[in-house]
Each structure stands twice: as C-alpha cells, then as structure tokens.
Structure 1
C-alpha cells in the first residue's frame, strides 16, 4: 500500500486556516458544527507561548482547554489579515484580535505595545493542519509590565 497525498492549492490551505481561526471565535466549533480538533491530523503539533508544544489531538485539546479556559471571548479581525504562501504546505497568517481574558479586555493597538497582534505558521496537507505554531504575547490583559523597564509607569 502506498501513501497518497492530496495536492492542495494555497487558497485551499488558506480556507483550512480560516476555518480554524473562525472556530476559535466560535468556542472551538467549526462552521459545520464539528470540533476544532477535527481540523488537525491525529499526530499534529501546536505550539503556544508559555505552554509549549502539544502533539496529537489529545494534547492539543488540553492546550486549547488550558488557554481557552482563560478567555471569555475572542474575535479575530479577518479583514486585516496578511497571508504569506510558500508554494508548499506552509501558510503564514499575521493578524490582530480583541476580546476578554479573565484578567481583563484586550484589543490590538490599545495600547500599541499590548496583546492582540499575532502570527500563526501553519503546515496544512491533505485538508488537515499538520502543524500550527502560534506566536503572540499571552499576557492578554497587559498586566506583566513590571519586568519591562520601558513599560514601568505606562498606563494600559
């Protein structure tokens, strides 16, 4: 038996990434009512700052539960996304968001140094996310200012 790989276009990979981001805004539920975890290959990897790398759907579910448990809401600003396509299985999406963390609200650009800007690097093959490394400031409410001298005394 040979392995088969379904060829995907950049736009098709983008559609999978968009489905993932929209599911995040919808408490982990996809547009067809499924779980966000179904968008991932069974052995996929996800990285989130201050959490680490989760491998496989069970660990990814734990990561999303841990991080999602700190969020009351999140809204991605889809109209402002920047997409970078590699011509291979990789897609990069840079964007902004706003929402409410258990420690308080956030909005990209308010203040300019605070959370809300992010970049996700996806590897998408066979209509599934194989890898998603998330790069952002996990201090959504902007409370970690004492460790950064340039923020000392700066109002949020």
Structure 2
C-alpha cells in the first residue's frame, strides 16, 4: 500500500531516489534538493506542498505544487519535481501523487502548469492535462470551470 506524506531532501530514503533519478538522466530531484538547501524553493507559500510516496518504508516517488514562477497569473500553480522510482512505475504511484496535489489546489490556483519531457506527454494527457505551446509549460490542468 502506498502512503503519502510531506518530503524534503533530508527525509530518510530521499538520497537513494535522488541517485536513481540522476542515474536515469533526470535532474528534477537534484533541482529540488538544490533549491531547498538554498532556500529558493521550500514549498512555504500559500497553497504549496511537496509530497513523497512510500511503499512501506521505501520512498518511491515525489511530487510538489508551487506558485508558478513563470506564469504572470498570481493564481497559476505548477506541478514540480514529479519522479517515480522505476520499480514503482505503472503501479499508479504517479497518478496518486498528481491526484493528491490536485485535491485542494482550486482553493489557491485556477490551474496547474507543468513542463515535462515529451516521453511524459501521454501520462499527463491520460490525467486530463491539456497540451500547451507556451515556452514555460507543456501542459495545463484547469481547476475551475470557465
């Protein structure tokens, strides 16, 4: 059973997940750790959250929600640092993490943007994200009806 809880780079189990992500050519968890340690992004603003997914005592995924620093709309949110361990992929962990950050997001944001590699486009499409052509975001999930 997967459980979700807040996570930081100091959380037990983060280092192995970081190492796996970097070995696979992914830098999002390195950016998370760097931004956390510098104080540039500690998920402390209104509506922000950073979650980890645990399978027992093993951290198998991360995903956060920030105020979008690239979108001029003050009610724009951003999906950040989504990473799922290879052994946990295709088991619903990514979907569970996205659902968790969407849960109360409309209280703070009108939509959630994300900038993802092309390989992840089908995943975001399955979760209802619209494809964008903006330079700062590849996908958007509308939280409020127009």
Using the size of structure 2 for normalisation, the TM-score is 0.30
Larger Rg: 1
Q: Which has the higher helix share?
A: 2
Q: Which has the higher strand share?
A: 1
